[in-house]
Structure 1
Amino acid sequence: MSKEETAIFAGGCFWCMVQPFDSLPGIKKVVSGYTGGHTVNPTYEEVKSHTTGHTEAVKITFDPEVMSYKQLVQIYWQQTDPTDAMGQFQDRGDNYRPVIFVNSPEQRQIAEQSRKALAISEQFDKPIVTKVEDVAPFYPAEDYHQDFYQKNPDVFAQQEAGGREAFIKTHWEKEN
């Protein structure tokens, strides 16, 4: 029987954070949702209003014997601008801030070590500002947000064209 663990990452619009993880080996499920705030079971409109304290995020259920948490963190970095604390690309505001939400001391150690390694790599000419925070209650987003990139490929393509795709190509693909 396979094991199951979860990872929660925030990196701008959750629509853009599903696809990079969705079809990887060992990934069982990727759910778009909200976390890190003070409102119980918030709606998309409430989160967009910047009054809930929540961040759009994805909750990834994975088999650590197939895909390690460390590998997921590396993939996470390559989907974000870790130097932008108040949004990602065209998505601006605290609800789009980049955060790695950890749910164990082991996850914290991996995330912090990875963050430190990225900071000393000098890959970026600005400081790494992505936070590592303890997991908070995660609330799944409304159904129409789930698997958005598959259900709405044209809208998703416009979102990707908002700077994320070009940033990734410039800053990450040269590493691969």
Structure 2
Amino acid sequence: MKTKEKASLIGITCSRVTGGAWGIYSLGHFMDYTFSDYSQAILHAGGAPVIIPAAQDSDSLSRILDSVQGLILSGGPDVHPKRYGEEPMAGLGEVDEALDAMELMAAGLALERDLPILAICRGIQVLNIALGGTLYQDIPSQVPDSLCHNPKTDKAVNTHTVRIEVGSRLR
């Protein structure tokens, strides 16, 4: 009899919206969310998604990351510039400092555990900061001839080229 392998658990960080956004939920409350595409992709690849709410303390986040085999740092608002040693400037978008704290902690804990990390959009910014990097707060005003990073077209349309290095975990 063939034994079935256990599906790898993959953590996905959530973003948050304030209650009343999108015309739903109660004002003054937060709603955690993530795009179903992430969970569907994990399921399609044979894994099992684990949604990680934005509100976490270090103990519960450590326990979650001890039980998963990978982490997706998903998208969301801008990371507050104080996280990389800068003052906010004009053009900075919406920020969520509690989400910043949780995702930076998650990135640090995942790096300590040598967990594979897939960083998407804001998640790339979080991972960069966790590794000591900085960011442009407002790409259009700080980088001449920059690519539009918030296209008004279908989000399924590719915007960036991605190269996978030989010898990396993805290849």
- TM-score band w.r.t. shorter chain: 0.3 to 0.5
Higher relative contact order structure (alpha carbons within 8 Å, sequence separation ≥ 6): 1
The structure whose residues are more often strand, as a share, is 1
User: Which TM-score applies when normalising by structure 2?
Assistant: 0.33
Bigger Rg over Cα? 2
User: Which TM-score applies when normalising by structure 1?
Assistant: 0.32
